[in-house]
C-alpha cells in the first residue's frame, strides 16, 4: 500500500504552480493597475476602467491564491477544494479577459488558463485524493 504520509510529487508540483500563479497575479495586477493610471497619450485600444478593474481583480485573486496555497502546502482538504474552485474561476477569467480586454492581456490570459488547468489536474489525481484524505 502506498505511503500516505508523504506528499505526492504531483501535489508538490501543484503547490509550486499555485505560488507561481499567486506571484504572477500580484505582479500582473499591480502592473495593469499602474498602466491604467498612466494611459495618457497612449492608444492601447482598451478602456481605462476595464484595465483598472481587471488589474484590481487580478491582484485580489493573487492574494486569495497565496492564502490558499499556504493551506494546500499544509495538506488541507478545504484548501484543495478552494484552490480547485479558484482555478476553475481563473480559467473563466482568462477567457473573459481575452474577449473583453483583448491583445494587451492575450498571452497572460493563455498562460493563466493553462496553469490553472495544470493545477486542477494535479490536485485531481488518485494519489492526491488519498493524500488529502489522510491528512
Q: Which three cell numbers stand for residue 73?
A: 502546502
45: alpha, beta or left? (left if phi > 0; alpha if psi -120 to 50): left
Query: How much is the pLDDT for 44?
Result: 67
Query: How much is the pLDDT for 1?
Result: 46
Global pTM value: 0.83
Torsion of CA 9, 13, 15, 19, to 10 degrees: 160
CB 77 within 8 A of CB 133: yes
Highest mean pLDDT pick, 64-78, 85-99, 102-116: 64-78
Q: What is the largest CA-CA distance in the chain?
A: 65
Q: Which three cell numbers stand for residue 85?
A: 474552485
Query: How much is the pLDDT for 47?
Result: 76
pLDDT digits (tens, 9 = 90+) for 9-41: 999 999 999 999 999 989 989 998 998 888 776
Q: How far is CA 89 from CA 11, 37, 83, 93, 135, in A?
A: 20, 26, 10, 6, 26
**3-state SS, residue 114:** helix
Query: How much is the pLDDT for 131?
Result: 93
Q: Give the mean pLDDT of 88-112.
A: 82
Q: Which three cell numbers stand for residue 60?
A: 485580489
| CA 35 and chain centroid, separation | 21
Q: Give the mean pLDDT of 33-60.
A: 81
Query: How much is the pLDDT for 27?
Result: 94
Amino acid at each position: 500500500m502506498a505511503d500516505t504520509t508523504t506528499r505526492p510529487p504531483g501535489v508538490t508540483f501543484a503547490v509550486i504552480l499555485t505560488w507561481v500563479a499567486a506571484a504572477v497575479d500580484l505582479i500582473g495586477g499591480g502592473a495593469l493597475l499602474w498602466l491604467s493610471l498612466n494611459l495618457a497619450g497612449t492608444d492601447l485600444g482598451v478602456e481605462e476602467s476595464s484595465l483598472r478593474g481587471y488589474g484590481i481583480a487580478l491582484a485580489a485573486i493573487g492574494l486569495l491564491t497565496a492564502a490558499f496555497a499556504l493551506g494546500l502546502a499544509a495538506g488541507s482538504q478545504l484548501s484543495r477544494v478552494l484552490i480547485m474552485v479558484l482555478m476553475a474561476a481563473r480559467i473563466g477569467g482568462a477567457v473573459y479577459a481575452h474577449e473583453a480586454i483583448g491583445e494587451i492581456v492575450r498571452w497572460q490570459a493563455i498562460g493563466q488558463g493553462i496553469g490553472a488547468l495544470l493545477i486542477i489536474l494535479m490536485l485531481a489525481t488518485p494519489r492526491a485524493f488519498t493524500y488529502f484524505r489522510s491528512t
